[in-house]
Amino acid sequence: MANDQKSKPNPTSPAWSKLHLWQMQPVRDILVALGIFAIFLVGQKISVVTVPLLIALLLAYLFEPVIAWSMKKFNIARRTSVVGIIAGVIFLVVIPSTIGASFGIAQTISFGQGVLDKIDAVQQAQQIPDIEMAHMALKDQEVGGAWITIHDSIRTAEDEHSAIGQSLAAANNWILENREQVAQTAATVGIETVSRVLGLLGAVFGLGFMGFLVAFFFFFVSTEWVGVKGFGAELLPDKNRDRILDLLTKFDAVISGFIRGRLTIAFIQAIVFSVGFYLIGVPGAFILGPAVAILSIVPYLALIGVPIAISLLWLEAHSGIRGEWYWIVGAPTILYFFGQAIDDYVLTPMIQGKSTGMDTPTILFASLAGGALFGVFGLLIAIPIAACVKILIQEVFWPKFNDWAEGRTADPLPIDR
């Protein structure tokens, strides 16, 4: 009887032929989906504005506890606290990072030029018949270690008339026979280099302009953060507002704890690895260090930096103990485990704790899956999304499924038949 009464149409409802398209629920759902897609499309087209705005919203969300703490601690206005945070980020993060990146780029260029010089020295040493004299010539030009090994390998290949030696000889003959073409190619490369330098300058200007927009939007969003949160709460339906706010509070604890914690840990790890690589003699330490620190956001992914550091140390061919094989292999390995131990036993327990509520295998699986699907962006968002999905399963879907499994409800899905 109840089902028969439910299936009867409401006599007060207007006929479907008198309804507008947007009054029909299926059409309304399609229009909402198209509207959301249009918002994303327009946002992509005006990314020069939307990206800084979204970054500013994220930063305002992340820095809100710091703003609230400074207001309470020093009894200052919200606007003053926001200005202080912007100034602190500029002087404590942006300027040191720019100086470190500039030094790292200069060091990387110097390393590249040194590699080219050593390659040229090895080529010249190939012309010396006596192997001992060739070694002495390389050492006189401060070229040793790995490069002597490379020189001996090439010479052995040439002496044995192997395929490698024949290929090197053929390449040398081709260069001699096509000098004009090589010169023209070199000129083209020079023009392309100038174009890339100009493009790099344009990219630096664009990055600076984006930074200005982020700071600009961050100031206004942060000063009106209470109003922004209130506006968002008003958009929630009254029927399920308390339930949604409870879930959002739990999402906030997970996402904010992970993002704030991992970014803080990555910043500290960037300092540890950069200084460590510099002390053990790895070229480009202030480029490799931050890169490894970013990789450390995903558990144990920073291990990629070990073979890279070993290769760079080997090619640098330091003299003394830093040129020995046990230093080349052992120093980057020990540095990695030192940084990983600091992360596992000091930084993560103190800064992040158990904010995600997930174990290491689950975090690693979520990170790799997010990276495979969405690249670097997926690596960053995979763990918070996985933690939120876990909360939804535990708080919403699992209770319904459990009630259905125990016979207390006929359907675990919230579908109105």
- Report the C-alpha gap between 285 and 280 in whole angstroms: 9
DSSP 9: P
Q: DSSP for 338-374? A: HHHHHIIIIIIIIIITTSS---HHHHHHHHHHHHHHH
- List CB contacts of 414: < 8 A, sequence separation 6 or more: 400
Measured CA to CA in angstroms, residue 4 lies from 1, 9, 365, 410 at distances of: 5, 10, 50, 19
The predicted pLDDT at position 335 comes to: 92
Domain spans of the chain, in order of start = 238-407
pLDDT for 408 equals 75
Lowest mean pLDDT among 60-69, 140-149, 208-217, 393-402: 140-149
Residue 332: which pLDDT band, with cuts at 50, 70 and 90?
very high
pLDDT at 302: 82
Q: Which range among 54-63, 167-176, 271-280 shows the weakest confidence by mean pLDDT?
A: 167-176
Between the CA of residue 128 and those of 151, 176, 208, 349, 371, what are the distances in Å? 11, 20, 52, 60, 51
pLDDT at 333: 92
Hunting for tokens 């020995």 — which residue is that?
A: 324
pLDDT digits (tens, 9 = 90+) for 120-144: 777 777 767 767 776 676 666 666 6
The answer to whether the beta carbons of residues 96 and 271 sit under 8 Å apart is no
| Nearest-angstrom CA–CA distance, 385 and 273 | 28
User: What is the predicted pLDDT for the residue at 334?
Assistant: 93
pLDDT of residue 1: 44
Query: Taking 90 as the threshold, does the pLDDT of residue 214 lie above it?
Result: no
Q: What is the pLDDT of residue 241?
A: 75
> From CA 16, how far away is CA 283, in angstroms rounded?
73
Q: What is the pLDDT of residue 181?
A: 66
Q: What is the mean pLDDT of the chain?
A: 75
How much helix, strand and coil, in percent to the nearest 5, is found in the chain?
A: 85, 0, 15
d(CA 183, CA 13): 83
Residue 52 neighbours by CB distance under 10 Å: 20
Least confident residue range of 28-37, 132-141, 305-314 = 132-141
Dihedral angle of Cα 140, 144, 150, 156, to the nearest 10 degrees: 60
Length of the chain: 417
Which residues have C-beta within 8 Å of that of residue 64, sequence separation ≥ 6?
Answer: 222, 225
What tens digit of pLDDT does each residue of 67-106 get?
A: 888 888 888 888 898 898 889 888 888 888 788 777 777 7
Q: Within 10 Å of residue 89's Cβ, how many Cβ atoms?
A: 15
pLDDT at 5: 47
Instruction: Give pLDDT tens digits for 150-181.
Output: 767 766 765 555 555 556 556 666 655 666 66
Is the pLDDT assigned to residue 11 strictly greater than 60?
Answer: no
Report field, pTM of the whole predicted structure over 0.85:
no
User: Is the distance from CB of 295 to CB of 304 less than 8 angstroms?
Assistant: yes
